[in-house]
Structure 1
Amino acid sequence: MGETRSVGVTPEAAGGTARAGGAARVAGLAVGLAALAAVVAFQVMSGLSPEPVRFTGLIVAVLAVSVIGFAAASWGAGRSVAGFGAAVLAGYAAEAVGVRTGFPFGDYRYTDLLWPQPGGVPVVVALAWGGMGLAAYAVATAIVPAPGPARVAVGALALTAWDLFLDPQMVGLGLWTWAAPGPYRGIPLSNYAGWLLVSALVMLLLQRITGGAARPGRGRGLAGVYTTMAVMETVGFAVVFQPPDPLVAVAGGISMGAFAALAWRRLWQR
């Protein structure tokens, strides 16, 4: 009888795989950091520009690059791209239904300032759902380590908190209009009910796609994106935008800030 040899991964092969994984993680972090720095620069330029709308698409596009880079470092490139794509498609579908039916956000329409607009929905809006959707999911993963309904609920609330900034700013810039103004800087409360619903769908998709890859201790880059957006929007509404809006600065700053603080408390404990 001939000698039986075990077949397996050699130490050299395992080491090579680990090195490749480490290099990919470093590359993802580098892309995420560089793009996030660009987001900050463009946000500053937008706040100081007499035509801030010109920067909107650029900011969202670079934000998407930053998020995908950080997500790839945390979850792997395949899951990150799939998760981002799912969030973009979910956001686009909700917006396409919304502009036609008024469900789930309320009766609103986009103006012609953001292009392209396939199906009446600006592409940049769908990208924003994807970018901040992944950032909010990472925050929720840090706060609620175990997958399940609690993580979905926290992620939905964290993403909706961002819209306390987003809608007043974008309506102020004339990017979309509401048929019936509401109590929060002209935004109807139905908008936030719709955001919670769609955000929960986005969180469910991300939880399903990332699975066990979304480990609580690996979301610092994405939590950094969420925190950066919270800080910049708070400062913008408080002192940069003209006229300043202390109400939005406080409402958005406290809401997003609370989720960011809870996430970082857990992240630094790991």
Structure 2
Amino acid sequence: MPSFRALLGSLIGAQVAYSRLPERHLVPATRGIVGLMLAASTVEAAEARGPRRGPALVATAGAIGFAAELVGVATGKPFGHYSYSEKLGPKVRDVPVAAAAAWAMMARPSWVAAGHVAGRGGRLRRLRRVGLAAAALTAWDVFLDPRMARDGFWSWPAGGRYEGIPATNFLGWLGTSAGVFAVWSLVEGDEPPTAADDGALALYAWTWIGETFAHAAIWRRPVVALAGGAAMGAVAVPALLARRAGR
């Protein structure tokens, strides 16, 4: 099995190459990058938390997120009314199976980043970490939804004020993410991140930097670059500073 470092290097290379691909290759390339990012996150979790516990945590995030998507597409709650196209592949009740990956692949990076900035304080620290991790994962969606909706992977019929996306979407992400991390907090306890978790933090930091640059310089979406960069940076910067101070 490839190491996390090898997978992260491959992911970065694939994401850099993506901007140079002709349009006809973008859909399969997007699927490939999703699979590569999920693999990197899962392997990192296995290396840091063990071959059973780590992937089980990632799978739990994907399962909770996918369940929320099933409810969301069917009822419009908690994300608002939206629908998926056929571009992400096979579906279950109108939700692509690949949608679970969006929740799974950035859950641990968000959890680790939040752990660096949650501070001290026993039970209060645990609650802060759950809230911060939920905010960190939702911050990534500030990048994700505008890009994927623009490329036709899903759509919002009624639109919304932020790049055609309603505020209910982000509230839904925040609530669903909080549910994911509430479960994780029961399993992970209150232990702060260690050097073994640096890979997850690196994945969060790279995603923040890479998405900000791509939206600003390649896709020419300054509003998304500013909003997503600020949202993810609000967690990434203090997490990186805290990790550096803890060395």
Q: Give 2:43's aligned residue.
A: 69
2-side partners of 1:209 and 1:81: how far apart? 13
1-side partners of 2:150 and 2:103: how far apart? 20
Q: Is the 8 A contact 1:164 1:248 kept in 2?
A: yes
1:97-246 superposed matches below 5 A: 97-144=71-118, 147-211=125-189, 215-241=193-219, 244-246=220-222
2-side partners of 1:216 and 1:248: how far apart? 32
Q: Give 1:247's aligned residue.
A: 223
Q: Does 1:264 align with 2:240?
A: yes
Question: TM-score, structure 2 length as denominator?
Answer: 0.92
Give 3-state SS (helix, strand or coil) of 1:219's partner.
helix
How far residue 208 of structure 1 moved from its aligned partner, in angstroms, is: 2.0
Please tell me whether Structure 1 or Structure 2 has the larger radius of gyration of its CA atoms: 1
Runs of 4+ in 1 over 6 A off after TM superposition: none
1:50-69 superposed matches below 5 A: 50-51=22-23, 52-69=26-43
Give 3-state SS (helix, strand or coil) of 2:206's partner.
helix
2-side partners of 1:197 and 1:184: how far apart? 19
2-side partners of 1:101 and 1:50: how far apart? 36
1-side partners of 2:34 and 2:191: how far apart? 25
> Compared with structure 1, are the counterparts of its residues 103 and 79 closer, same or farther at alpha carbon in structure 2 (3 Å cutoff)?
same
Q: Is the 8 A contact 1:99 1:109 kept in 2?
A: yes
Give 3-state SS (helix, strand or coil) of 1:39's partner.
helix
2-side partners of 1:168 and 1:95: how far apart? 17
Q: Does 1:39 align with 2:11?
A: yes
Task: Structure 1: state its 5+ residue gaps.
Answer: 1-26
How far residue 118 of structure 1 moved from its aligned partner, in angstroms, is: 1.9
Residue range with higher mean Cα deviation, 247-256 or 138-147: 138-147
How far residue 36 of structure 1 moved from its aligned partner, in angstroms, is: 1.0
> Compared with structure 1, are the counterparts of its residues 216 and 81 closer, same or farther at alpha carbon in structure 2 (3 Å cutoff)?
same
For residues 68-118 of structure 1, the C-alpha deviation after alignment (integer angstroms, 9 at most, x for no partner) is: 222223222222111011001001000011000000000000011110212
Aligned-residue sequence identity (percent) comes to 36
Q: Is the 8 A contact 1:110 1:176 kept in 2?
A: yes
How far residue 251 of structure 1 moved from its aligned partner, in angstroms, is: 0.8
Residue range with higher mean Cα deviation, 159-168 or 39-48: 39-48
Q: Is the 8 A contact 2:8 2:40 kept in 1?
A: yes
Q: Is the 8 A contact 1:75 1:213 kept in 2?
A: no
For residues 160-218 of structure 1, the C-alpha deviation after alignment (integer angstroms, 9 at most, x for no partner) is: 10011000000000000112100000000110110100110111122222335663553
**Root-mean-square deviation (Å):** 1.7
2-side partners of 1:81 and 1:211: how far apart? 17
For residues 203-258 of structure 1, the C-alpha deviation after alignment (integer angstroms, 9 at most, x for no partner) is: 112222233566355321101001111111111111112xx111110111121122
2-side partners of 1:176 and 1:50: how far apart? 21
How far residue 149 of structure 1 moved from its aligned partner, in angstroms, is: 1.1
Q: Is the 8 A contact 1:156 1:196 kept in 2?
A: yes
Task: Structure 2: state its 5+ residue gaps.
Answer: none
